[in-house]
Structure 1
Amino acid sequence: MKQLTAKEVEKLLREGKALNIIDVREVDEVATGKIQGAIHIPLGLVEFRMHELDKSKEYIMVCRSGARSGQASQFLEDHGFKVINMTGGMLAWEGETK
Protein backbone atom coordinates (compact mmCIF):
# COMPACT_ATOMS: atom_id res chain seq x y z
CA MET A 1 0.00 0.00 0.00
CA LYS A 2 1.35 3.40 -0.98
CA GLN A 3 1.63 6.00 1.77
CA LEU A 4 2.24 9.72 2.09
CA THR A 5 2.71 11.76 5.25
CA ALA A 6 0.39 14.64 6.08
CA LYS A 7 3.26 17.04 5.33
CA GLU A 8 3.76 15.49 1.86
CA VAL A 9 0.05 15.84 1.07
CA GLU A 10 0.06 19.43 2.31
CA LYS A 11 3.09 20.19 0.09
CA LEU A 12 1.34 18.74 -2.98
CA LEU A 13 -1.72 20.91 -2.29
CA ARG A 14 0.45 24.03 -1.84
CA GLU A 15 2.06 23.25 -5.21
CA GLY A 16 -1.41 23.33 -6.77
CA LYS A 17 -1.66 19.61 -7.48
CA ALA A 18 -5.22 18.37 -8.07
CA LEU A 19 -5.68 15.64 -5.47
CA ASN A 20 -8.60 13.29 -4.90
CA ILE A 21 -8.86 13.09 -1.12
CA ILE A 22 -11.40 10.93 0.70
CA ASP A 23 -11.98 11.50 4.42
CA VAL A 24 -13.30 8.33 6.06
CA ARG A 25 -13.90 9.82 9.53
CA GLU A 26 -17.35 9.94 11.11
CA VAL A 27 -19.71 12.90 10.65
CA ASP A 28 -18.93 14.45 14.06
CA GLU A 29 -15.18 14.27 13.37
CA VAL A 30 -15.48 15.91 9.96
CA ALA A 31 -17.60 18.68 11.52
CA THR A 32 -14.44 19.89 13.29
CA GLY A 33 -12.82 20.49 9.87
CA LYS A 34 -11.55 18.59 6.88
CA ILE A 35 -8.99 19.16 4.14
CA GLN A 36 -10.43 21.51 1.54
CA GLY A 37 -11.87 19.58 -1.39
CA ALA A 38 -11.93 16.25 0.43
CA ILE A 39 -14.90 13.99 -0.19
CA HIS A 40 -16.48 12.66 2.99
CA ILE A 41 -17.28 8.93 2.91
CA PRO A 42 -17.39 7.41 6.42
CA LEU A 43 -15.44 4.14 6.64
CA GLY A 44 -18.61 2.11 7.15
CA LEU A 45 -20.03 3.41 3.86
CA VAL A 46 -16.96 2.97 1.63
CA GLU A 47 -18.15 -0.45 0.43
CA PHE A 48 -21.55 0.96 -0.52
CA ARG A 49 -20.26 4.15 -2.16
CA MET A 50 -17.22 2.84 -4.04
CA HIS A 51 -19.33 2.89 -7.22
CA GLU A 52 -19.04 6.70 -7.01
CA LEU A 53 -15.25 6.46 -7.43
CA ASP A 54 -13.28 6.24 -10.68
CA LYS A 55 -10.72 3.42 -10.98
CA SER A 56 -8.65 5.56 -13.37
CA LYS A 57 -8.02 8.13 -10.61
CA GLU A 58 -5.74 7.90 -7.58
CA TYR A 59 -7.27 8.61 -4.17
CA ILE A 60 -5.62 9.74 -0.94
CA MET A 61 -7.40 8.28 2.08
CA VAL A 62 -7.55 10.28 5.32
CA CYS A 63 -8.87 9.61 8.83
CA ARG A 64 -8.02 10.77 12.35
CA SER A 65 -4.74 8.87 12.83
CA GLY A 66 -4.20 6.75 9.72
CA ALA A 67 -5.64 3.41 10.90
CA ARG A 68 -9.15 3.63 9.41
CA SER A 69 -7.84 5.19 6.20
CA GLY A 70 -5.42 2.25 6.03
CA GLN A 71 -8.37 -0.15 6.23
CA ALA A 72 -10.24 1.81 3.55
CA SER A 73 -7.11 1.88 1.37
CA GLN A 74 -6.65 -1.87 1.62
CA PHE A 75 -10.33 -2.51 0.84
CA LEU A 76 -10.34 -0.23 -2.20
CA GLU A 77 -6.98 -1.56 -3.39
CA ASP A 78 -8.42 -5.09 -3.21
CA HIS A 79 -11.22 -3.88 -5.51
CA GLY A 80 -8.87 -2.46 -8.12
CA PHE A 81 -8.61 1.19 -7.03
CA LYS A 82 -5.38 3.20 -6.89
CA VAL A 83 -5.08 4.52 -3.35
CA ILE A 84 -2.58 6.16 -1.02
CA ASN A 85 -2.95 6.19 2.76
CA MET A 86 -2.12 9.48 4.50
CA THR A 87 -0.13 8.33 7.52
CA GLY A 88 -0.69 10.18 10.78
CA GLY A 89 -4.14 11.30 9.64
CA MET A 90 -5.66 14.58 10.70
CA LEU A 91 -3.73 14.43 14.00
CA ALA A 92 -0.61 15.11 11.90
CA TRP A 93 -2.29 17.64 9.58
CA GLU A 94 -0.97 21.18 10.02
CA GLY A 95 -2.54 22.64 6.89
CA GLU A 96 -5.75 24.55 6.44
CA THR A 97 -9.13 22.93 7.05
CA LYS A 98 -12.63 23.89 5.99
Structure 2
Amino acid sequence: MNFFSALFGTTDNTKLKEAIAEGAFLVDVRSAGEFASGSAKGAVNIPLDRINSQLAKFKGKKNIVVFCRSGNRSAQAKSILEQNGFQNVVNGGTWNNVSECLDK
Protein backbone atom coordinates (compact mmCIF):
# COMPACT_ATOMS: atom_id res chain seq x y z
CA MET A 1 0.00 0.00 0.00
CA ASN A 2 1.50 3.33 -0.99
CA PHE A 3 1.25 6.61 0.89
CA PHE A 4 -1.73 7.96 -1.07
CA SER A 5 -3.78 4.78 -0.87
CA ALA A 6 -3.07 4.70 2.87
CA LEU A 7 -4.51 8.21 3.17
CA PHE A 8 -7.34 8.05 0.68
CA GLY A 9 -8.19 4.37 0.38
CA THR A 10 -7.48 1.99 -2.47
CA THR A 11 -7.65 3.49 -5.94
CA ASP A 12 -10.27 1.94 -8.21
CA ASN A 13 -8.30 0.81 -11.23
CA THR A 14 -11.27 -0.72 -13.07
CA LYS A 15 -11.20 1.71 -16.01
CA LEU A 16 -7.43 1.52 -16.17
CA LYS A 17 -7.41 -2.27 -16.26
CA GLU A 18 -10.14 -2.32 -18.93
CA ALA A 19 -8.20 0.15 -21.10
CA ILE A 20 -5.01 -1.87 -20.73
CA ALA A 21 -6.83 -5.11 -21.56
CA GLU A 22 -8.06 -3.45 -24.76
CA GLY A 23 -4.52 -2.50 -25.80
CA ALA A 24 -4.41 1.11 -24.64
CA PHE A 25 -1.81 3.58 -25.90
CA LEU A 26 0.37 4.01 -22.79
CA VAL A 27 1.92 7.45 -22.46
CA ASP A 28 4.42 8.43 -19.77
CA VAL A 29 4.24 12.23 -19.52
CA ARG A 30 7.36 12.62 -17.34
CA SER A 31 10.60 14.12 -18.64
CA ALA A 32 12.89 12.08 -20.90
CA GLY A 33 15.33 11.65 -18.01
CA GLU A 34 12.64 10.33 -15.68
CA PHE A 35 11.36 8.00 -18.41
CA ALA A 36 14.89 6.65 -18.98
CA SER A 37 15.10 5.65 -15.32
CA GLY A 38 12.13 3.28 -15.72
CA SER A 39 8.56 3.18 -16.93
CA ALA A 40 5.65 0.85 -17.62
CA LYS A 41 6.33 -1.85 -20.20
CA GLY A 42 5.32 -0.75 -23.71
CA ALA A 43 4.91 2.92 -22.82
CA VAL A 44 6.01 5.81 -25.00
CA ASN A 45 7.39 9.05 -23.60
CA ILE A 46 5.62 12.27 -24.51
CA PRO A 47 6.51 14.84 -21.82
CA LEU A 48 3.66 17.00 -20.56
CA ASP A 49 5.11 20.15 -22.12
CA ARG A 50 5.03 18.47 -25.55
CA ILE A 51 1.49 17.06 -25.52
CA ASN A 52 0.03 19.94 -27.55
CA SER A 53 2.67 19.60 -30.27
CA GLN A 54 2.29 15.80 -30.42
CA LEU A 55 -1.51 15.49 -30.70
CA ALA A 56 -1.22 13.58 -34.00
CA LYS A 57 0.30 10.64 -32.10
CA PHE A 58 -2.95 10.25 -30.14
CA LYS A 59 -5.33 10.24 -33.12
CA GLY A 60 -7.07 6.96 -33.87
CA LYS A 61 -6.22 5.39 -30.53
CA LYS A 62 -9.16 3.49 -28.99
CA ASN A 63 -7.94 4.06 -25.43
CA ILE A 64 -5.22 6.32 -24.05
CA VAL A 65 -3.63 5.95 -20.62
CA VAL A 66 -1.47 8.81 -19.36
CA PHE A 67 0.68 8.54 -16.25
CA CYS A 68 3.62 10.14 -14.45
CA ARG A 69 5.35 10.05 -11.04
CA SER A 70 2.51 11.21 -8.78
CA GLY A 71 -0.57 11.55 -10.98
CA ASN A 72 -0.44 15.36 -11.15
CA ARG A 73 1.13 15.78 -14.61
CA SER A 74 -1.01 12.95 -15.99
CA ALA A 75 -4.13 14.76 -14.74
CA GLN A 76 -2.95 17.84 -16.65
CA ALA A 77 -2.23 15.74 -19.75
CA LYS A 78 -5.70 14.18 -19.58
CA SER A 79 -7.23 17.66 -19.40
CA ILE A 80 -5.20 18.89 -22.40
CA LEU A 81 -6.18 15.86 -24.46
CA GLU A 82 -9.87 16.23 -23.54
CA GLN A 83 -9.75 19.93 -24.48
CA ASN A 84 -8.50 18.78 -27.88
CA GLY A 85 -11.39 16.37 -28.42
CA PHE A 86 -10.04 13.10 -27.02
CA GLN A 87 -12.69 11.43 -24.86
CA ASN A 88 -11.02 8.06 -24.37
CA VAL A 89 -8.34 9.15 -21.88
CA VAL A 90 -7.66 7.48 -18.53
CA ASN A 91 -5.39 9.01 -15.91
CA GLY A 92 -3.39 5.99 -14.79
CA GLY A 93 -1.80 7.93 -11.95
CA THR A 94 1.72 6.77 -11.22
CA TRP A 95 3.85 4.71 -13.56
CA ASN A 96 4.15 2.11 -10.80
CA ASN A 97 0.36 1.85 -10.65
CA VAL A 98 0.18 1.30 -14.41
CA SER A 99 2.98 -1.28 -14.22
CA GLU A 100 1.13 -3.18 -11.50
CA CYS A 101 -2.04 -3.23 -13.61
CA LEU A 102 -0.06 -4.55 -16.58
CA ASP A 103 1.19 -7.43 -14.46
CA LYS A 104 -2.30 -8.58 -13.44
Normalized against structure 1, the TM-score is what?
0.73
Query: What runs of 5+ residues in structure 1 fail to find an aligned partner?
Result: none
Identity among equivalent pairs (%)? 30
More strand as a share of residues: 1
- In structure 1, the residue matched to 2:45 is 40
SS in 2 for 1:62: strand
- Whether 2:57 is the aligned partner of 1:52: answer yes
Runs of 4 or more off by more than 2 Å in structure 1? Answer: 5-13, 90-96
Distance 2:98 2:39 in 1: 10
More helix as a share of residues: 2
1:84 aligned partner, one-letter code: V
Task: Report the count of equivalent residues.
Answer: 90
Normalized against structure 2, the TM-score is what?
0.70
Query: What runs of 5+ residues in structure 2 fail to find an aligned partner?
Result: 1-10
Q: In angstroms, what is the RMSD of aligned CA positions?
A: 2.7
Asked which structure has the greater RCO (Cα within 8 Å, sep 6+), the reply is 1
Distance 1:45 1:56 in 2: 18
